[in-house]
Amino acid sequence: MSTIASTSLTMSSSIIAFLDFFGIAVFAISGALTAGHKRLDIFGVMVVALITCLGGGTLRDLILDAHPVVWIENTSYLFAGIIAAFATFVIARFYRMPMRMLEVCDAIGLAFFTIAGMQKAQALGHSPEISLLMGLMTGVAGGILRDIVCNEIPLIFHKEIYATAAIVGGGLFLVFQYIGFGPEISMIVGMLTILTLRLTGIFMGLSMPAFLFSDDERN
């Protein structure tokens, strides 16, 4: 088992590093495109992209007092976001962006960021409920900040199953850990759950129930 574990650890290390940058890039692209719809200039596009891809992790680190903040400790996250935003700025002039594919990539980013955020909170010794909240924050706060900066009501507050996917998947991650499954199995189960739920939401157009006032029903 130990050889398999160490092999899978090495393999999973590179996968995690890949998913990390993949998530950063996808969120940066989503920020750049939202900024683009507002006709922002190259600087605005950069800032909105960075807020989108680094905002969630930054907020988590500030609240958990986990200094240095993730992109100060490792500036390659910063450069990954800048490069992805710049590429989007250039490419979108010439090609129609494949929106549906980007949504799928964004779902992968959400799945990974949520679980990674939970693991960071757990590593700092926080309780399961705080870890779940911090995972959720890591996964969705960037998108919320993106929409606030772009003067929109955050999309994830009224679009198809999004945060709910993160909550359910993050919850399962905790349950699997609690039952006694290893960190890798738990992580994979959590991520796949988030991904599946989110993709179901995208392709079946499912959304959560919205707030309804009793007045609405009368009028």
Measured CA distances, 125 to 79, 120, 122, 176 (Å): 30, 9, 5, 18
**32: Cβ–Cβ under 8 A, 6 or more apart, which residues?**
45, 48, 49, 84, 85, 88, 89, 92
Which residue, 68 or 180, has its beta carbon nearer to its own copies?
A: 68
Q: Report yes or no: 189 and 174 within 8 Å, Cβ to Cβ.
A: no
Q: In angstroms, what is the minimal distance from the CB of 141 to its own copies?
A: 9
Beta carbon nearer to its own copies, 86 or 181: 86
Q: Which is nearer to its own copies, 51 or 116 (CB)?
A: 51
Query: Phi, psi (5° rounding) for residue 43?
Result: -70, -45
DSSP state of 155: G
Residue 148 CB, shortest distance to its own copies, in Å, is 6
Binding residues (CB under 8 A) for its own copies: these are 32, 35-45, 47-48, 58, 62-65, 67-69, 72, 75, 78, 89, 92-97, 126-127, 129-130, 133, 144, 148-154, 156-158, 162-164, 167, 207-215, 217
Alpha carbons 120 and 198: distance in angstroms, whole number: 23
- Nearer to its own copies by Cβ, of 179 and 210: the residue is 210
In the complex, the smallest distance separating the C-beta of residue 170 from its own copies, rounded to whole angstroms, is 13
Which residue's CB is nearer to its own copies, number 35 or number 195?
35
| Smallest separation, CB 57 to its own copies (Å) | 12
Cβ contacts of residue 59 below 8 Å, gap of 6+?
A: 137, 141, 145
CB 50, min distance to its own copies, A: 9
